[in-house]
Amino acid sequence: MNRQKTIHLVVRLAAFAVIIALIVAVCASPVIKKLLHGTVVSAQQTAQTANVYVIRNAKIVTVTGATIERGSVLIRDGKIAEVGARVTAPGAAKVIDATGLSVYPGMIDCGTSLGLTEIGSIQETRDTTELGDFNPHMRAIVAVQPHSELIPVSRANGVTTAITRPGGRLVSGQAALINLDGWTWQEMTVKTPVAMAMEYPRAPRGRGAAFLPAEGAANVAQLRDRQLAALRQKLEDAQAYAKAIEARAADKSLPARPVDHVLEALIPVVKGETPVLMIANSEREIKGAIEIADKYKLKLIISGAEEAWKVAAQLKEKNIPVIIGPVTDLPNSEDDDYDLNFSHAGKLSKAGVRFAFQTNDAAYVRNLPYQAGTSAAFGLPKDEALKAVTIYPAQIFGVDKLVGSIEAGKMANLIVTDGDPLEFKTTVKHMFINGKPVDLSSRHTKLYDKFKDRP
């Protein structure tokens, strides 16, 4: 019985060896080699041209260079390969004829909660705020929902990239710069952390502040002072923790310090490596934020900055950028001029302060271009308005080598429009994010298509 099994096994092995020999012989034949080689080459060529696009015959607004009245943009493997009046593209490249259209860099919103919020009135869909006043170790990027309905809506008017940040605490966590396309948060990530989100302790202000009882105002002022003292102490602790870590690295005989995740996350902040995106609106708050930044050597970016025009000279002197918006909101005080917010960007531009725009929202990110457009109608030069939603945000957050303008080597985040993207009447015809064409349909367009022909 065992002998029969052995014979069967030997026969099978011999048959298998014959089959292998035949395959090797066939593959060694010149004809088969040629066919196989042709198949491999064809597959390689297909892969190489699958991600190659050329936009032809368009007006190209590069933002950082001269505008090309009639030119082309070549996109290869997610990047801008070439831009100019004469661009040579591979024969198999996918061509977009943009005659009569214009190409702009994708716009960047410097302050949103995209991916962290879906429906503002439903708490279960909001993931922006953690417990406790100090959460620098919390990363907004890992909470981003790539399939949020708000993301395609945000892309509709040309926004390709956004800062998404946590909020609501003295130190809310790590903000991230994301592209508004991708299956996962990893695919969407441009840079993380791009900044540490903080809030300067504030006092009541605006229309309701005058009606606050004296006792209540005193309590709020005391709370603000306690929070400010706690923030200062936390930054001092982070500095001491960083020094202890460095000392231990230099001298292993020193006792190891227990890991503190909060202080660990603040080390890049107190070393000036990670910028601080600090919400500060009133003149007093902005001055207080500048004082803290000076004392603890922080790389400061002011967010909100409603009264930045009052301290413009100081901001320019210290080269502190500000993120303003939404400029279409009503002024804070009843005594303010109606156009205070509309003209704010123009005042900062004249004073030489670096600035960019934000919508400070998730549902209305699509209105970002109109923040810049409204400002352009109230004193801000039009080219500066465009830069404030493209290259200036990129420069402020240290990603101007990646995005913000149309230059060879940069990420291909582009929009093709039928007019000025800061104008209400303009339509975005095509969009590329990270070199891939993006579907411009959204819940809004689907509902429009559904009901436009309703009987």
Instruction: Let me know if residue 277 belongs to a domain.
Output: yes
pLDDT at 439 over 50: yes
Task: Report the b/e string of 12-45 with b at 16+ CB within 10 A.
Answer: eeeeeeeeeeeeeeeeeeeeeeeeeeeeeeeeee
Q: CA 77 to CA 99: how far, in whole Å? A: 24
Name, in order, each residue with C-beta under 8 angstroms of 322's C-beta and a sequence gap of 6 or more: 301, 302, 303, 305, 308, 315, 348, 353, 354, 355
How many residues does the structure list for the chain?
Answer: 455
Domain presence at residue 46: no
- 418 lies in some domain: no
- pLDDT tens track for 347-395: 999 999 999 999 999 999 999 999 999 999 999 999 999 999 999 999 9
Report residue 37's pLDDT band, with 50, 70 and 90 as the boundaries: low
Q: Is pLDDT above 90 for 31?
A: no
Q: What is the DSSP letter of 119?
A: -
| CA 372/CA 384 separation, integer angstroms | 9
The CATH number given to whatever domain includes residue 233 is 3.20.20.140
The count of structural domains within the chain is 1
> Rounded distance, CA 114 to CA 397, Å?
18
Is 75 domain-assigned? no
Q: State the Cα torsion 115-166-375-364 to the nearest 10°.
A: 30
DSSP output for 191-214? EEEEEEEEE------STTGGGS-H
Residues 403, 389 contacting (CB under 8 angstroms): no
Outline where 2-105 has alpha helix (H). 2-28, 30-50
* pLDDT at residue 38, rounded to an integer: 56
Q: What is the DSSP string of 369-438?
A: HHHHHHHHHTT--HHHHHHTTTHHHHHHTT-TTTSSS--TTSB--EEEESS-TTSTT--EEEEEETTEE-
Report the 10 Å Cβ neighbour count for 438: 20
Tens of pLDDT, residue by residue over 304-343, are 999 999 999 999 999 999 999 999 998 988 889 999 999 9
Q: CA 102 to CA 415: how far, in whole Å? A: 8
Residues 243-271: tens digit of each pLDDT: 999 999 999 899 988 999 999 999 999 99
Mean pLDDT of 174-201: 97
Rounded to the nearest 5 percent, the helix, strand and coil shares of the chain are 40, 20, 40
In a domain, 79, yes or no: no
Contact call for residues 305 and 280 (beta carbons, < 8 A) = yes
29 part of a folded domain: no
Does residue 211 form part of some domain? Answer: yes
For residue 242, give its domain range.
107-403
365: helix, strand or coil: helix
Percent of the chain with pLDDT over 70: 86
Q: Name the pLDDT band for 214 (thresholds 50, 70, 90).
A: low
Return the structure tokens found at 426: 């303009």
